[in-house]
Amino acid sequence: MSDKIYKICQIQEWQSACITGIYKGSQVDLEDGFIHFSTPQQLSATAKKHFHGQKNLILVEFNTKNLSLTWEPSRGGALFPHLYQELPITGSEKTWLLTLDENNMPVLPF
């Protein structure tokens, strides 16, 4: 398992979390009952599948050792990190504003 995981979300969602100190999740997270994350290896496919054409996105990096994650099978049986509680923003390590390429795909920093 990777020690770094990532969350792509709307900038406005993250800004609100920075004010309250807690990220409660995106609309999809709230509907599913957990916060979705991706490992570095899963991130590109996640961006393509779920964020094509979306503007005003931010990528947030977290260290897994600071979170009580549940690793559950998802796309193709791969284990994805899920968090079944609210997320303190103090656990974030880095953030990147994402732009879209000529195909309207989010451009990842790595």
* Per-residue pLDDT tens over the stretch 21-78: 999 999 999 999 999 999 999 999 999 999 999 999 999 999 999 899 999 998 888 9
pLDDT tens digits for range 10-23: 999 999 999 999 99
pTM above 0.85, yes or no: yes
CB 23 within 8 A of CB 77: no
CB 30 within 8 A of CB 24: yes
The pLDDT assigned to 1 comes to: 65
CB environment 58-71: b (16+ within 10 A), e (fewer): bbbbbebeebebee
- Is 1 or 16 the better-scoring residue by pLDDT? 16
pLDDT at 2 exceeding the cut of 80: no
Q: Which CATH code for domain 4-85? A: 3.20.170.20
